[in-house]
Structure 1
Amino acid sequence: MSADFWAGYFSGIAGLLIGNPLDVIKVRLQAGGASSKSPTTPSVPAPGTYRFSSARALVRGTAAPILSSGALNSILFVSYNRSTDFLKTGGADAQAGLWTTWIAGAVGGLATWVVSTPTEIVKCRTQVSPSAASASNSWTIAKEILRTEGIRGLYFGGVVTALRDSIGYGFYFWSYELSSRFLASRMKDRGMDSAGQEAAKVLLCGGLAGIATWVSVFPLDVIKTRVQTQVLQPGSSSPLLGTGVSVDGTEHRRLGAIEIARNAYKKEGLGVFFRGLTICSVRAFIVNAAQFAVYEWIMRELSPKKGLSTPADVIL
């Protein structure tokens, strides 16, 4: 396979491994505490009480994203490029407008729904599972969902995930293009066109795009996390996602995105939809910078004549 395929693949893995500790904290902050009496409360520590039993706990939930990153990237960028070509006017060499870029990014993000929803539900459930739980790894959780609910179970929360990805990737490509064009104009005016300065521009724009993306969809991501990490309280007949009967004979059902959002607002206020945003923003910038650094290094090793590629190789 080509050098850019391997560079993109391994840079994505590096980004996941570097960013996952912060992602674990983000997901647990979003999911909420276990003190609520609701039968579908995520079984996670209360905010501010995160104690990890080992270094292994900080890389929990990476298996699903690593296995799916190649397929997700392929779907995203093929859809984005084809949509851009279809929507832009003025010929193949014309520069796409910013709104065209946003729409094309949104189409690309929506197309990733097939891969991103199963990935997210397995990742999030793995990250919020207690370290000592018997079903606390990605493979075990995926098998249990398939056993109890089939393929449909892996797509629970798919609508809110699709909205998050569509809006988020729209703003990702849009914000990258906006900041890139601004910095390119400033660099041209000042005669700054060295390879090092160009690489710094790409890294900075990619990092800023990552932050802009998460700011634009963070409330949706909080809702998605809470929808997908619903579990029945200990002692119920169905410990994983799904309708079950608890020990007191009461039947419980999973809540939809609107119900989750309404209940979260009533109990915790507007601030709940931005819980973990700071951690997520720091992670987004670091992950994007790390991915570009690894990407450039591998490209130099495998294909010395090629320069730094477009930040379209970066995943959120």
Structure 2
Amino acid sequence: MSADFWAGYVSGAIGILVGNPLDLIKTRLQAGPAAITTAHTPSSPSAAPLSPTNLPWTKQFENLSALARGAAAPILGYGALNALLFVTYNRSLALLNTGQLDNWPDRPSALSIWTAGALGGLAIWFVSAPTELVKCRAQVSQPPRSSLAVTRELWRQGGLRGLYMGGGITSVRDSVGYGFYFWSYHLSKQAVAREDDTPNQHAIKVLLCGGLAGVVTWASIFPLDVIKTRVQTWDLLPSQPKEPASQPLLGSANGSSTSPKNVITDRPSTLSITQQAYHNEGMKVFVRGLGICSARAFVVNAVQWAVYEWMMKLLAA
């Protein structure tokens, strides 16, 4: 396979390993206070209630195994996702600027960079949607469940459709986000790179530009990501809407209200979940976790871009 495929695969997998602990905190903050507090009940009735704002960050992890919770799905899926992303981006950029798939332009336009990135984001949807779904549900489930257990439950309740719950909002997030991702990386790199840079200077600038691209990307799509997380974990937390307002108090006459809910068929609409989140927590719900997400984005994407460019040079040699 092509060099950009393997460079993208390895850099994506390494990025997940580096960023998973912070991603766990981000997901729980986005899902709502209950995602954190259910695992950290105060020891006495008089103890102050826990919340994402007063719980020390070291206590976000119940044990050492929590550091890797939900990482299995992204490690398996995100390597392939990142590989497909870079291959699609590079080929789209070449086609938009030169009309040929294998003739990469030296100075592509900013619009073509954004468009190629957005096309790359759309291309990875069929991988990113189930990967994100399994990761988020594994990260907030209480008691803890493995990625495999989460996948089996989703398949049992909805088959292939079950693995794509929240797929629509995920595709929009990925398309917009990766457009800004590649655009901001190339724009910042053009601004700081010099032909006479030493290898060390070049490496530092790649790390800086990669980290900046990650921060810009998440800032541009963070509200969409919050909505995606709420949609994908709607049934796991008490803060999410679970019952239609018109549900009879005692259920239907045949007693069907006692049957367990199907996470796929009984899910409220994306708009309903968004409105409920705003009604319960206000506008702040759409930026909760942005700080920890930005820190994670800088570190992860600095590493990813450094590994990607290093592997591209290695494989091209």
Tell me the alpha carbon deviations over residues 255-307 of structure 1, each in whole angstroms, 9 at most, x when there is no partner: 2222222221222111110000000000011112333555677789xx4984x
Match of 1:249 in 2: none
Match of 2:231 in 1: 227
**Against the structure 1 CA distance between its residues 2 and 220, is the aligned structure 2 distance closer, same or farther, given a 3 Å change threshold?**
closer
The separation in 2 between residues aligned to 1:289 and 1:34, in whole angstroms, is 32
Tell me the alpha carbon deviations over residues 216-256 of structure 1, each in whole angstroms, 9 at most, x when there is no partner: 0000000000000111679974366235xxxxxxxxx3122
Given candidates 253, 257, 265, the residue that maps to 2:270 is: 257
> Following superposition of structure 1 onto structure 2, how do residues 1-80 of structure 1 map, counting pairs within 5 Å?
8-34=8-34, 46-48=51-53, 49=55, 50-80=59-89
Match of 2:301 in 1: 288
Match of 1:121 in 2: 133
Given candidates 273, 288, 291, the residue that maps to 1:278 is: 291
Which stretch has the larger CA shift, 6-15 or 265-274? 6-15
- Unaligned segments of structure 2, at least 5 residues: 41-50, 239-256
The separation in 1 between residues aligned to 2:224 and 2:183, in whole angstroms, is 19
Tell me the alpha carbon deviations over residues 177-205 of structure 1, each in whole angstroms, 9 at most, x when there is no partner: 11111112xx35xxx42111111111111
Match of 2:110 in 1: 98
CA contact (8 A) 2:117 2:183 kept: yes
The separation in 1 between residues aligned to 2:63 and 2:262, in whole angstroms, is 24
Report % sequence identity.
Answer: 56
The separation in 1 between residues aligned to 2:176 and 2:27, in whole angstroms, is 19
Match of 2:90 in 1: 81
Match of 1:311 in 2: none
Given candidates 208, 213, 219, the residue that maps to 1:215 is: 219
Between the two proteins, the alignment pairs up a number of residues equal to 281
**Against the structure 1 CA distance between its residues 57 and 236, is the aligned structure 2 distance closer, same or farther, given a 3 Å change threshold?**
farther
- Give the TM-score, by structure 1 length: 0.79
**Against the structure 1 CA distance between its residues 77 and 5, is the aligned structure 2 distance closer, same or farther, given a 3 Å change threshold?**
closer
The separation in 2 between residues aligned to 1:146 and 1:97, in whole angstroms, is 43
> Following superposition of structure 1 onto structure 2, how do residues 88-237 of structure 1 map, counting pairs within 5 Å?
88=97, 92=103, 93=105, 95-130=107-142, 132-133=143-144, 136-184=145-193, 187=194, 192-231=196-235, 237=259
CA contact (8 A) 1:231 1:242 kept: no
**Against the structure 1 CA distance between its residues 173 and 242, is the aligned structure 2 distance closer, same or farther, given a 3 Å change threshold?**
same
**Against the structure 1 CA distance between its residues 54 and 142, is the aligned structure 2 distance closer, same or farther, given a 3 Å change threshold?**
same
